[in-house]
Each structure stands twice: as C-alpha cells, then as structure tokens.
Amino acid sequence: MSEDKEKVVFTEDKKSKAEEAREHTTPRLFLRRWLILLLFCCFSMSNAFQWIHLNIIGNIILRYYNESLPGDEFQQQLAVDWLSMIYMLAYIPLIFPATWLLDRKGLRVVSLAATFLNCLGAWLKCASVDPSRFGVLMFAQTVCAIAQIFILGIPARLAAVWFGPNEVSTATALGVFGNQVGVAIGFLVPPVIVKNHDDLNLVGRDFSIMFYATAGVTTALFLLVITVFKKQPPTPPSKAQAIIVEQAAEEKYSQSLVRLVKNRCFMLLMITYGVNTGSYYGISTLLNPLVLYYCENCEEHAGRIGLTIVLAGVLGSIVAGIWLDKTKKFKLTTVAIYFLSMAGMVLFTFTLDQGILWVLYLCGGILGFFMTGYLPVGFEFAAELTYPESEGTSSGLLNASAQFFGIVFTTSMGALLNKFGPLAANATVSGALLLGTIGTALIKGHLRRQEAEKKGGQLTAFLTADDIVDYEL
C-alpha cells in the first residue's frame, strides 16, 4: 500500500512540474543554433582526424618508431593499433562521469573540456617527433582520446536542446557528419603529407608539418568555443524538450542510468549498435594493412578508399536524418540500414582479394553509405525508445557499447589478419553484422518522444514489473 502511495506522489510531482514548464514556456527557435552546430562539427572533426591520422599510415609509424616499439612483429603492429584503440578504451570507464557532466553542467562546459584536451594532445604530439618517443606519441593520443569522450555524446543532446521537433534528426545527422568529415580528412591527408622516405629525418620532418598544423587548428577552435559556444537557448525549442530540461536539472544521473539499463528494448539496441559501429571502427583502424596485404605500396590508395567510405557515409547520414524527419519510421529505417550494412560488408569481403582498385572504391562506398549512415539513426531511435531520459545519457551508453565492440573487433581482426589473412577477418565481421541485423529486427518500436509531441508534451507511462520504465507526465 505504501508503495502505491509513493507511485502516486511520484507521478503527481512529475505532472505538476511538467505542466508548469508547458504553461510558462513558449517554444522558440533561434538562428544561432546553426552557428553552434557548425562550431561543434568543426571541433568534432578535428578530434576525429586525430583518431585515425596515425593508423592510416601505420606502416610508416612502424618504420619511424621502430626502436621504441616491442621486438616481436605482431606486438609492434598491436602497439600501433592501440593508437586507435586507446580512443575506444578510454571511453568505456570515463563516459559515465562525462555524461554526468553533460547533464549537470550543459553543452558549454563539456565543449570547453573537449576542445582544451584536444588542443593539448595536439601540441604534445609535436614533442613526439623522434624515433625514441613512441611513448610520448601514445600519451598524446590518450589525451585526445579523453577529449573524444566529451564529444561523442553531444550530437543528440545539442539537437534536442537547440532544434525543433522536425529538425532533431537532421541536426543529429549533421553533428555526426562533422565527426565523419574529420575521419575522412584523417584518411586522405596523412598519406599525402607523410611520405615513406628512405631517410627517417625526412619522415620526421613530414610528421612535424602534420602535427604543428593540427595543433594550430585545434587551438583556434578552443578559442572560438570560449567566445561563441552557449549552453542552451533562452527558451526550449519544443514542449517535449522543455520537460527534459526541467527533469534533467532535478533528477539524479544514477537513477536515469538504472532506468535505461532496465529498458529491455534500449539494451538490445545498445548491443546491436555496438556491433555495427564497432565493426566500422575495426575496419577503419586496419584499413592500411588490409589494403597493403593485396596492394603493396598503396598507402595513398588505402587513404582514399577510407575517404570514399567516410564521404559515402556522410551522405548516408544526411539522407537517413532527412528521411527520419519526414517519415518518422525509426524501426523500419534502422533494420533496413543494418541489413544493407551487412550486405555491403559481404561485398567488400569477397572483392578485396581481387586487387581491382575501382572495385574496392565502389564497394567501400557502398559499405560506408550504410554502415556510417546508421550512426545518427541509432542515436535517434534510442532517443525515441528512452524518452524522456536525457539524450546525452542514452547516446553515451550507445557509444560505450561501440567502443567495447570496437576493441573486440580490432584485436580479433588483427589476430585473424596476421594468421589467416583478410578473408577470415572480414568474414567474421560479416557474421557479426548478420546477428546484429536479427537482433535489431527484434526491437519493439515504441516511439515515446513522438507520442509526447502529439500530446503537447504529455507522455502516458507506466512502472511495471517487467522493468519497462516510463513516466506519467
């Protein structure tokens, strides 16, 4: 009986606060939202560039830093792979305090932390240009990896805080777009700047050019965030967002986390999202050795194939975001893109050994369009399944899953590549994506945020024994 009374008080308190928010808040959109989004895209881009700009020239890293790397050939390659995987490893334990900071302090504080660490890591890399300083390079990359923790949870939150209900999917897609452009530049530019010279002094000179240029860009972005970036607009852009702002300011992060863990549909999405995105991380990290296995001295082609994957993915992200805003078919879109990602991976797997470059570019583009196009779709589907929880919390858990599976796929693909070749490595990823497609099809598409918008910010909800956690607002 006492438990029933507590539930009544809980729902009445929530109802009164939500009604007060709706009565005193008139949704309004501000033109400044596009400037905020553009600035975020730029500093997300600079951090994503630093994630992959070393591994796409992994064979040159191996030569230049050989004296400070382990003696065993497999251990050397694994050490270079960790320049990418450190981004994934750092994210998993630190995402929880980073998400707490996003919920409590807002977008500005988190963006300042991200751009400062990104800038610091870039400058530390300038001090690593010496064959004996691989440890310094790894430390600098770790600092950049910590910066990434604050960045990856921002797109869905920024879209919800600044953009209207018919813009959030597009805004989220554009936020992911900035990150993907950074990866694209990270694939394209390093092989052009850093050449595989016989003279290591010339290689060191090329590294210095790349590192100092990156440090200059990240410093300028840090200064822009200080002067331009705002926490939130004066008034929320929608009634549903007004409730989230009200609730996020008062609820405990741990309680929100528990409710998400008890949401079975979200947990299944978290696993399948991790498999898809983790596969992408593994392929991106190992693209250099995968291509060079069949095409010797093709560093620049490896970078350009990576560029093709990412640019096609950028297009896929934007198309998916616009499609979701127009149709609201979250479940159908998620399953379709996941299935096509698997099909693209199978195609890439069985054409890689042909060594025909134009075929590799084409298959890489198909793979990237769907696999990278899935990223914003996953964020938005999660926001629908978990409303009215904070988008920062749900996207943070999705990214944590992606980082975990990224480490799993990168290490397992690396081991399979070393022992059996690319076919075994890529076939394993294709099988995992098949299981992910089946898992995604099993998710029930209960679109809570859309229901709230239709009801003017109200959402009928229940606390049940099945651990499906909703609210009555």
Q: pLDDT by residue (tens digit) across 229-243?
A: 877 675 666 666 666
According to the model, what pLDDT value does residue 177 have? 76
Lowest mean pLDDT, pick from 161-165, 182-186, 274-278, 288-292: 161-165
- The arrangement of secondary structure in 35-250, i.e. its CATH architecture, is Up-down Bundle (1.20)
- pLDDT band for position 329 (50/70/90)? confident
What is the spatial distance between Cα 151 and Cα 396, in angstroms, rounded to a whole number? 10
Q: Are 287 and 306 in contact (CB under 8 A)?
A: yes
Which range in 37-46, 226-235, 258-267 is most confidently predicted, on average pLDDT? Answer: 37-46
Lowest mean pLDDT, pick from 84-88, 136-140, 147-151, 450-454: 450-454
pLDDT at 355 over 50: yes
Do domains 35-250 and 252-466 share one topology? The answer is yes
According to the model, what pLDDT value does residue 77 have? 86
Q: Please give the distance of CA 280 from its chain centroid, rounded to a whole number.
A: 11
pLDDT at 469 over 50: no
According to the model, what pLDDT value does residue 23 have? 56
Lowest mean pLDDT, pick from 41-45, 99-103, 163-167, 304-308: 163-167
* pTM listed for this prediction: 0.75
Share of the chain above pLDDT 90, in %: 34
According to the model, what pLDDT value does residue 18 have? 47
Name the more confident of 225 and 156: 225
- Is 252-466 a CATH 3.40.50.2300 domain? no
pLDDT tens, residue by residue, 61-103: 999 998 888 878 888 888 999 999 999 999 888 888 887 888 7
pLDDT at 17 over 70: no
Q: 463 has which bridge partners?
A: 469
According to the model, what pLDDT value does residue 253 have? 65
Domain residue limits, the chain: 35-250, 252-466
Name the more confident of 2 and 367: 367
Q: Compute the mean pLDDT over every residue in the chain, rounded to the nearest whole number.
A: 82
